Amino acid sequence: MNKTAFSMPPNLNPDQASPDWMNKGDNAWQLTAATLVGLQSIPGLLILYGGSVKKKWAVNSAFMVLYAFACVILCWAAWGYRFSFGDKMIPFWGKPNFALDGHYLMEQTFLGNSPTRQWSGALLGRMNFYAWMLFVPLWLTFSYTITAFSIWCSDGFLAKMGIIDYSGGYVIHLSSGVAGFTAAYWVGPRLTQDRQRFPPNNILLMLFGAGLLWIGWTGFNGGDPYVVSVDASLAVINTHICTAASLLTWLLLDIVFFRKPSVIGAVQGMITGLVCITPAAGVVQGWAAVIMGLCSGSIPWFTMMVIHKRSEMFQKVDDTMAVLHTHAIAGSLGGILSGIFAVPKLNRLFYGTSGHYIGLFYGLATKRTHDGFRQIGVQLIGVVFVVVLNIVSTSIICVVVQIFMPLRMSEEEMEIGDEAAHGEEAYAIWGDEEEKLDPKYELAKSKAGGQMEMV
């Protein structure tokens, strides 16, 4: 038989730029998925937060997202990646090292057929921006990397136990939700008038940001198999099914109990759906995604609208964007439901082995009851570990940052907002200049300048 019949087209032949281990299709999807994930933050989350807060905090809220995005990229490349996925230093942390060397970046990643290079809302309205500048890299270095190594890295102790976290329900959402709530406790509440009335300054912009966040989640969950596969397709469709069910459930509950179809409520339901499906996206069937959406649209709604309002502890902590409910509770819910509905065959597609990766539902159906209950136990251990780690580490970080500068803006700065914090404002509206004649503006601006000198 003529061997030339099996030759590759010239543009697909391996070369120095395209090694024989690299799949061009997989790599193209990873680049696309990474771009979609980037759009979730810039401009998605930036616009969502910028439109969701009072006008006087629009610039500050959006700028916190922009700064975090830039800071995390640099810290991740410089040391965060190797902390999370490098050689084991201790059971829950990798050895610190740079991930910037040209030779290292051109090597095959630990999973998939792509090179290595592919790889806040609770504090709005009162956190000192300079304190935020220190908080972000410290939290990434300690809280996030420890969680990522423990759950995602093959040497991590939770990974060895067989925890299911398909795309970061534990590592990203539960972790950030608990950290945000803890930091909100240390920073303290907003001004009384801001807590009592904090209307969005632009609901249409908020919806635009929410839409980018939702569509960007296609890359967030669909990119996690690191290959173009049926598992990636399943993750994408499950993401949208669960999110739609969650949004509609939250909306119906608002209509039934408050007689109003709230736009803000619909966005909250959208976010809880996205968060809940994240740890399970590629390892559950579509019908399970619907059930998860019903749960994520109702349970966080209940904790936010009923329990939160009746709990003195929750009332003491000023969680501006309700990240405890939309991220911590929804993330925990998704992790637990993953342990119930995970399909053994889909786990094999993603993890490469069945092992103990079996949801309780299928464990009972196949007489692997012990494995099913064990999986629930592992998922619960993961919740406890992430919660305790982030409460402790975030508290330590806040105490350390407070040594160098106040965590909280001054009363004068909080009363004025963006103009005092940044010398800029989101919208120039007729009549605002009269407010700037108030001596409090000059006092707040001078204090902000003094903090900048200290930094």
Q: What is the chain's pLDDT, residue by residue, as a tens digit (455 residues)?
A: 455 555 666 766 676 666 666 777 888 888 899 899 999 999 999 999 999 999 999 999 999 999 999 999 899 888 888 888 877 887 778 877 766 655 555 555 555 554 544 447 788 888 999 999 999 999 999 999 999 999 988 889 999 999 999 999 999 999 999 999 999 999 999 998 888 888 899 999 999 999 999 999 999 999 988 888 899 999 999 999 999 999 999 999 999 999 999 999 999 999 999 999 999 999 999 999 999 999 999 999 999 999 998 988 888 899 999 999 999 999 999 999 999 999 999 988 888 765 567 899 999 999 999 999 999 999 999 999 999 999 999 999 999 999 999 999 999 999 999 988 898 888 865 555 555 555 555 555 555 555 544 54
What are the Cα distances from residue 174, in Å, to 33, 143, 182, 344, 385? 22, 12, 12, 24, 11
Q: Which helix (H) or strand (E) holds 361?
A: helix 360-365
Q: Residue 91 has what pLDDT?
A: 75
Cα 141 from Cα 423, distance rounded (Å): 31
pTM over 0.75: yes
pLDDT value of residue 452: 45
Note the pLDDT of residue 93: 83
Domains and CATH numbers, the chain: 22-421 (1.10.3430.10)
| CA distances, 127 to each of 72, 124, 134, 348, 429 (Å) | 19, 7, 12, 45, 25
The predicted structure's pLDDT at residue 117: 42
Q: Report how far Cα 73 is from the mean position of its chain's Cα atoms.
A: 15
